[in-house]
Amino acid sequence: MLNVHTRLQAWQDRIESVLDDVLPPGQTHPARLHEAMRYSVLNGGKRMRPLLVYATGEALGIPLDHLDIPAAAIELVHVYSLVHDDLPAMDDDDLRRGKPTCHKAFDEATAILVGDALLTLAFQILASHPRMTASPAQRLHMIEQLGQAAGSRGMVGGQALDLAAVGKELSEIELENMHIHKTGALIRASVLLAAYSLDAMDAQRLQQLDHFAKCIGLAFQVQDDILDVESDTQTLGKTRGADEAAGKPTYPSIIGISASKAKLQDLYDEAMNALVSFGESADLLRRCAEFTVKRIR
């Protein structure tokens, strides 16, 4: 059997190929928009959310080709959110994954349209892509889950809370609620879309996977806040200290670095406990969780 690193790399290569396939060719009219879409999506990245889709599928015995389009849809929504988050009206970032952000490489109007196009493409491929193997009922369930995770009660709502929090003091509970929506909702959807690829899912196992995903989603943001303080721009691939400079509340600013690291470990441990009943089948899912918590050294 291939080692863990090799298998995760194989999944990363696989999703790159799938994304390249579902995106319109760059020369297709309107060429500038399609070029910008491909620039934004095929611009590197760790592909953590698609990896969670594949790893959850493995834990449940789902073939990879049943997971390709759900994994791509999740990543398209994620990239759309990054393109819009980087805009001057939002986080006003110049770098993403070590390269100029979409609005810097192209222009602001194009970046807005790129986000719009990627979001709608995600739902289009779930509904009708020839590589989708799920039944119409399963597809509808996936579309509903992704819509909820991406919308005003999920990621977009979390972004609204994030913008409203600039320059304000939040309690730890308020900060957690913001991040559960802004970051955690799409990570949770990554796990659930894989589970919905099954015709039937045991309710207890679904609940365990859901709890795992909630813990990892929050852990990801705690780690992101820590790295914004302790890492550097070159390693991060985005501007270090941007949150602090923008007056955004973070875990280190509210509870301190030491308590933030302790919270990160507690969330990781809780996520691991949620997977106990899955045995060895969830080993790569556990590795994805470790990758989430320790993704940059």
Residues 18-44: pLDDT tens digits?
999 999 998 899 999 999 999 999 987
Q: Which domains does the chain have, with CATH numbers?
A: 4-290 (1.10.600.10)
Contact call for residues 229 and 244 (beta carbons, < 8 A): yes
Q: What pLDDT score was predicted for residue 297?
A: 36
pLDDT of residue 229: 87
Contact 113, 63 (CB under 8 A): no
Report yes or no: 18 and 71 within 8 Å, Cβ to Cβ.
Answer: yes
Distance CA 286, CA 278 (A): 10
Measured distance CA(191)–CA(236) in Å, rounded: 25
Q: By C-alpha distance, which of 267, 293, 278 is closest to 58?
A: 278
User: What pLDDT does 135 receive?
Assistant: 92
9 with 17: CB under 8 angstroms? no
Write out the chain's pLDDT in tens, 297 residues.
457 888 889 999 999 999 999 999 988 999 999 999 999 999 878 899 999 999 999 999 999 999 999 999 999 999 999 999 999 998 888 888 889 999 999 999 999 999 999 999 999 999 999 999 899 999 999 999 999 999 999 999 999 999 899 888 899 999 999 999 999 999 999 999 999 998 888 899 999 999 999 999 999 999 989 998 887 655 555 556 666 666 788 999 999 999 999 999 999 999 999 999 999 999 999 998 888 777 543
Give the separation between CA 44 and CA 54, rounded to whole angstroms. 18
pLDDT of residue 237: 55
Global pTM value: 0.92
Which value, in Å, is the radius of gyration of the alpha carbons in the chain? Answer: 18
